[in-house]
Amino acid sequence: MVACGIQNYKENMTAGLAKTEIVGGKMSFRKTTLSSSIALVVAGMSSTSLSQDELEEIVVEGIRGSLKRSMDIKRDSMGVVDAITAEDIGKFPDTNLAEALQRITGVSIARERGEGSSITVRGFGPEYNLVTFNGRQLPTHNRDSRSFDFGNIAAEGISGVQVYKTGRADVPTGGIGSLVNISTTRPLDAPGETATFTIKAKNDPSAGRGNAITPEASGIFTKTFAEDTVGIALTTSYSERENGVNSYNTSGWFTNRASVTTGSNAPDNVQQINRPSTDSDIWMSTPRAANYTLREYASTRLNGQLTLQWAPIETVDATLDYTYSEFELSQVYNSFGGWFNHNANTVNSTWETFGSHASPMIYAEVSPPSDNAMALGSDGNKNENNSVGLNVAWQARDNLRFVLDYHDSSAEKGALDPLVGTSTNLNISSYNRVLTQVDYRSELPVITIGMDSGRDPDGDGPLTAPARPLYASDMKVSGSVIGNEIARMDIEQTRFKGTFELSDVTSIDFGIESTAVENQGNLSNVQLDTWGGVGDLGQLDDILVRASMSDQFDQIDGSDNTARTTDFFVADADDIKAVARQIYVNEGLNYGENIGDCGDGYCPSTDWDIDRFTEETTESAYIQVNHSTELMIPQYGTFPLNIQAGIRHEQTDVLSTALAPIVTEVYTVGANEVYYKEGEQQRYPFTGAYDKTLPSLDMDITIQGDFVMRLSASKTITRPGWGSIRGGIVKSGVNYPIDTPIGARAVGGNPGLQPMLSTNLDLSTEWYYDDASYVSLTYFQKDVEDFIGTSFRYEELFGGVPDLEQSDVYKAVEAELNAEGTNTGPVSITSRILEDYNIEGTVAYQNAGAAVYTENGETRLRGVAGQGAPISWQIQSDSNQEDAKVDGIELNIQHNFGDTGFGMIVNATLVNANVAYDNNVDVNEVSQFVLNGLSDSANLVAFYDKDKLEARIAYNWRDGFLNGIGQEQGTNQNPTNVRSYGQIDLSANYKYSDNITIFFAGINVGESTYRVYGREIHQVLQMGQTGARYDFGMTYKF
């Protein structure tokens, strides 16, 4: 009978790799495929190595060998576990860890710049999956999120990745989707000396003005000494990449019932073709803005790990390791487009209705000359990770083992250049845009910008039809926003565990853990609201260069539409800043409070607007019983049965503080936007606490040696994101359209949140019908309590901020327009005020008072204390809301076609949940409870591995999914959806000699594009292309 067939995720796992077999009532040890072939992979999770008499030679056999080891891990594990192992020392199946993980059943990924960055498992997004590194909890540098960015870790130094989909008492908590463990090389697990070196050239045609071909190099060295009792392992990798991302963007959509004919909705007249009837209940949505953006990125990634091991006596071994990673990302971008003020002289639109929603196929506004804005920027971020760990394992007695593990790890993110900041938005504008149109009938929305042709480049003239090109002499320096951010997380974790073998078939695992996490996030913005422009025409002539987007978006239908506006201007960001600074000096303009560390408004500030700090401490203890026996089924026989039952208890305390600014004033920026001015800062401390008891049970039975049936039941938790439990309340965003139905927005944290608690059930059947072939079918169900969702409430904040819409002048002019029958909303009211406030005899002039003032050449309307009620803020925060049920099916087929070298993998995951976004709910009144990231997924992989040649082609597909509720601007409850996405990758390598292997890889060779949208597929938020990229390289094995 097979007994103790349990692969534990724990520090002493390696020593337990030998499975036990009872023969005639006595125990005898036998080596399994797992114990002999995956010791290197498992070593990364283990704190101790096999003794030399137990360790057999590790045979690595490329794709087939990797798949076989992954299959062995799945078969021999307790619970539902999937894994990916290295095909050779320093050779991981994919160029990126996330892209490798997407091959696993139930795992989908999200991409940044065309490269895998985060994972979703069984419909649960990145924040619901815990990532560990050699069994240790990893810090992140996302400030508000616990999600881990796999782009920071090079695949070359990884020996394996294991995905634990079911809960266990002896593993860290935090992932109701999964626990993902990343394993690295341990020298004593592979005695002797090994060295490999890889060089690679990466070709990314999307790089544009950058270098399409960039280098990458990596190396691994391991060596043991002193009769294999001392070992050292060193892994390093360095890579550069330059690439481009082209996208169409809309900041948001306004949604109203068709009965609404003013404000942000389209009017009801003959110029609105196929507009839904005002008598209907149809929802209509109109765009806030539209622009094209070209981004060019340059990144470098440096990884290194040093591992020292010492086994002074047979019963003790110690491991000391240091891991470092650094990722630098810089960008240069340009964008242009136009915004819709929804108060245009003429609105022309063509509509189509899809169910209960109508979307514009064409939306156009003709208006008096307004800003034709072009944005540009140059900035960068640096991510840095450090981890020092010590592990000591002691075999106290033949049946008693102890392990002590400690690590101190940190992750930090900040500006690549402290004089530039983490985000730069510089704007230049002409003020002769009279037509803004978007055609949504093609895959790429077609933007048409029309210029007022009645003005020469050198002078002003009467308004006529839009018919002339844009000139450099039209452009002036406009508004700007310089952002700065730091994010830092420190984790100090101590774990003490043990295993006591009560008998040959029963053992007990036990342990205590202490984890202290400190998470800090600081933000600042230096914003100049000179959106009306500063300086004189012609001051930018010498630094602007005309450019065209006519050859961009070549992978998206609609890019060849001749109506598309393609001309824009580019310039060096430093040159724009230099001209702007000189304008402020020449004209004696005042930066006010908008000053960065350099003393003006064109550099970042470390006088933080927001300073958040959260401390989370968790104490835990667990006990787990492992037992192997036989199950007698009459008339069928006796079958090996393994049982693992455990319970874990955790106590968590949270302290969150935030230093956040108080809003002191609200005023208009132009006639269509409002800005909320901030004053002194105030600190907000909050506390929270919770404790959870988490039981788990795993059982598996082996039938006729080939069939394995599993049952797993457990309770698991996911802790709230750092943004959810932060202290303080701050205003949300920078500027808002004055005609938004929501008004002023603020966001706040809730450190008293409980973690999401999931009760899990997994039923799995697996048939291992050949040496490296199997079929598995798994049903999973998760009943989630205290699901964290977004809630909204309205209340006064910051001691009562005067509301400009309650000012005497606003109410008087509103009454005037109502009497005229020309009131079309807030924009029409503010426009009248700003036009008439200095004309004697007008209503605006008579009531302006302190509400209208001029600063830096901008005339503004503001709220006045004592005039009407203060602003009622919409406050967004997270709360524990309804329960949710998620279930699904995972199917995986891995088949090798005999000794032909050919093989295939086919897998699919179907996920269902009783929470989904309801498009028919009133967007202005009801907060919805949803699960972001829920989607089906599938993989199809074909490979060849024989003699000296290996090749693989893989297709990965992910169905469309909800990415969240809320858009940057527009109606706050509108959804953000991502269209289904499929990608083809391929790779091949040829073993030229025993030492040299040459390889090739292609990523996204089909040049798939992505689309993000709102309530309906035509309500585009983002449409973009990243293109294909290719790798060529060579590995030398010493």
190-217 confidence digits (pLDDT tens): 899 999 999 999 999 998 777 899 999 9
User: What mean pLDDT comes out for the span 43-57?
Assistant: 36
Q: What distance in Å separates the CA atoms of residue 26 and residue 876, rounded to the nearest whole number?
A: 64
Lowest-pLDDT range of 31-35, 229-233, 358-362: 31-35
Per the CB < 8 A criterion, the answer to whether 388 and 307 are in contact is no
How many Å apart are CA 247 and CA 252, to the nearest integer?
15
**In the predicted model, is pLDDT for residue 437 greater than 60?**
yes
Q: Which two tokens stand for residue 374?
A: 């072009």
Residue 1 has pLDDT above 70, yes or no: no
Per residue in 569-594, pLDDT tens? Answer: 999 999 999 999 999 999 999 898 88
The confidence band for 748, taking pLDDT boundaries of 50, 70 and 90, is: confident
Give ranges for CATH 2.40.170.20 in the chain.
2-250+292-335+378-420+485-524+610-661+681-795+877-1037
Task: Strands of 6-148 (E only): list them.
Answer: 19-23, 26-30, 81-85, 107-112, 115-121, 129-133, 136-137
Work out the pLDDT band at 882, boundaries 50, 70, 90: confident
Residue 536 scores a pLDDT above 80: yes
Structure tokens at 705: 């040696």
* CATH number for domain 2-250+292-335+378-420+485-524+610-661+681-795+877-1037, candidates 3.40.50.300, 1.20.1250.20, 2.40.170.20, 3.40.47.10: 2.40.170.20
Give the pLDDT of residue 489. Answer: 95
799 vs 397, which has greater pLDDT? 397
Partner residues linked to 32 by β-bridges: none
Stretch 707-735: mean pLDDT, rounded? 88
Q: What is the mean pLDDT of residues 430-450?
A: 94
Lowest-confidence range among 296-300, 712-716, 789-793, 1002-1006?
789-793
Q: Which pLDDT score is estimated for 210?
A: 79
How distant, in Å, are the alpha carbons of 181, 209, 783, 891, 1031 from that of 234? 20, 36, 44, 38, 24
Which range among 58-62, 348-352, 573-577, 760-764 shows the weakest confidence by mean pLDDT? 58-62
The pLDDT of residue 739 = 64
pLDDT computed for residue 890 by the predictor: 96
Residue 14, pLDDT above cutoff 70? no
Q: What's the whole-number mean pLDDT along residues 29-44?
A: 36
Q: Are 748 and 732 in contact (CB under 8 A)?
A: no
For 794-808, give the DSSP string: EE--TT-PPPGGGSH
Q: What is the pLDDT of residue 931?
A: 83
**H helices present in 175-321, as ranges:** none
Greatest Cα-to-Cα distance within the chain, rounded to the nearest angstrom: 110
Structural contact between residues 985 and 1001, judged by C-beta atoms closer than 8 angstroms: yes
**pLDDT on residue 741:** 59
Confidence bin at 881 (pLDDT 50/70/90): confident
- Which of 19-28, 662-671, 1025-1034 bottoms out in mean pLDDT, i.e. has the lowest? 19-28
Q: What is the mean pLDDT of residues 757-769?
A: 97
Instruction: Kindly list the distances between the CA atom of residue 593 and the CA atoms of 38, 427, 478, 522, 600, in Å, as whole numbers in the listed order.
Output: 61, 20, 18, 19, 9
User: Which stretches within 706-801 are classed as H helix?
Assistant: none
The answer to which of 689-703, 799-813, 1012-1026 has the lowest mean pLDDT is 799-813
Across the range 309-328, mean pLDDT stands at 96
Task: Give which of 601, 538, 546, 536 is closest to 571, Cα–Cα.
Answer: 546
In this prediction, residue 36 carries a pLDDT of 37
- In the structure encoding, which two tokens stand for residue 106, read together? 């139930």
Residue 518 confidence (pLDDT) above 90: yes
**In the structure, what pLDDT confidence band is assigned to residue 89 with cuts at 50, 70 and 90?**
low
Tell me, what's the pLDDT at 90? 66
Mean pLDDT value across residues 121-132: 90
Beta strand 858-861 with 852-855: parallel, antiparallel or unpaired?
A: antiparallel
Give the percent of the chain with pLDDT over 90. 62
Higher pLDDT, 934 or 581: 581
Q: How many CB atoms lie within 10 A of CB 854?
A: 10
Strands 423-439 and 788-795: unpaired
Q: Which residue has the higher pLDDT, 419 or 876?
A: 419
Residues paired with 102 in a beta bridge: none
DSSP assignment string, 588-634: T---TT---TTSSSSS--SS-SEEEEEEEEEEEEEEEEEEEEEEEET
> Is the dihedral angle over the CA atoms 875, 878, 880, 883 positive or is it negative?
positive
Give the model's confidence band at 54: pLDDT under 50 very low, under 70 low, under 90 confident, else very high: very low
List Cα–Cα distances, 861 to 149, 661, 798, 828, 837, in angstroms: 44, 22, 20, 13, 10
pTM given for the model: 0.83
